[in-house]
Each structure stands twice: as C-alpha cells, then as structure tokens.
Amino acid sequence: MIMLPSIRKLALLVHIISTVSWIGAVAVFLALSISGLNSQDNHIVRAAYLSMELTARLVIVPLSLVSLLSGLVQSLGTKWGLFHHYWVLVKFLLTLLATIVLILQLKPISYISDIASNTTLTSDNLLEARLSLVVHAGGGLLVLLAVTILSVYKPRGMTRYGWHKRNEQS
C-alpha cells in the first residue's frame, strides 16, 4: 500500500527529524560519558551521570522508538518496501539493534547515575561500567551514522523477495 504524497512527506519528515535528533542526542550522551569518565571535578562527574540518565530516558529512547516506527511506516508505505531492497532491510535491522542495545543499557546508566548522586566517584570507581557507557555511545553513534549513509546512498541490490515482487508486477 503506497501512501498519499502529503502523508508520505509528513512521515518522511518525522523520520528524518527523529533520526537526526537521535544522532545529536547520542553525541551529547557520548560527550557526557567522556566527561564523566575523565573529569577530576566531582561536581562535573555527578552532573554528567545524572544528565546522562535523563537524556537516555527522556530523549534518546523516545527518539529511537519514533525513528524505528517512522522508518517502518516509510518502508511499508513507499515503493522501497521493507523486504525489497537490502539497504532498507539492513537499515531497519541496524536501527532495531541500536534501539534494543539502548534499552538494555538503561539499567547500567541508572545504576551509575544513582551511585554518582549519592557518593563521590573516583577514577577507579565503576571504571569498567563507566568505560562501557563511552564504548556503547561511540558504537551507537557509528551505527546511526552508517544508517544515515545507507539512507543517502541507497546502494543497489534487491532481495529475492524484491525480485519476485518486481517480476510479479511486470
């Protein structure tokens, strides 16, 4: 089912805004996680981890869900289809993976935030968990940039299903 042009444009706009905003929010999260890991100032460390939890729960998770759902609407409501082209399918799967990893990271983010709010974190406290936040944020940013590159360049390649549907329509 192909969407009406006005609805398609609105859905595309929602998808672009949510995805670009998600990338920006993850970049902020990465900057905060690096600051929390490297700063010697307890106030900065505490503020970084408290801000990271708020940013993750109130900004990044909702943006990831809107991006995922609006991408699904776009793929199912346009000529591209979800299963017709490899780039669309890979883009969707990477977005789904990034969203799942993000949701799984909420518990460690909350844990570190709770500890930072109640105690002074030294450079050795929870070092592995704090470093993990930096790695996950950096990896998430790379995945989101890869998804964006796929959206712009749309590499050739149809799936078997796409070829079958194309031949069926001919």
In the chain, where the domains are located: 5-169
The Cβ-side half-sphere exposure at 93, using a 13 Å CA radius, reads: 7
Confidence of residue 168 (pLDDT cuts 50, 70, 90): confident
Q: What is the pLDDT of residues 82-98, one digit of tens each?
A: 999 999 999 999 999 99
Query: In this structure, which long-range contacts are made by residues 92-99, counting pairs with CB atoms below 8 Å and at least 24 apart in sequence?
Result: 92/68, 94/143, 94/146, 94/147, 94/150, 95/64, 95/67, 95/68, 95/71, 95/147, 96/68, 97/143, 98/64, 98/140, 98/143, 98/144, 98/147, 99/64, 99/65, 99/68
| pLDDT for the residue 167 | 86
Confidence of residue 162 (pLDDT cuts 50, 70, 90): confident
Q: What is the pLDDT of residues 24-42, one digit of tens each?
A: 999 999 999 999 999 999 9
| pLDDT for the residue 164 | 87
Confidence of residue 75 (pLDDT cuts 50, 70, 90): very high
User: For the chain, how many helices (H) and strands (E)?
Assistant: 6, 0
Q: Which helix (H) or strand (E) holds 137?
A: helix 127-153
Mean pLDDT, the chain, as a whole number?
Answer: 94
How far apart are the C-alpha atoms of 20 and 105, rounded to whole Å?
21
CB neighbours (10 Å) of residue 130? 23
| pLDDT for the residue 63 | 98
φ/ψ of 14, rounded to 5, equals -60, -40
Q: What is the pLDDT of residues 118-160, one digit of tens each?
A: 988 877 789 999 999 999 999 999 999 999 999 999 898 898 8
Let me know: does 143 contact 100? Beta carbons within 8 Å.
no
- Token pair of 23, please? 């990338």
| pLDDT for the residue 123 | 73
Check whether 170 has a pLDDT greater than 80.
Answer: no
Residue 105 identity (one-letter amino acid): Q
**Can you give the length of the chain in residues?**
170
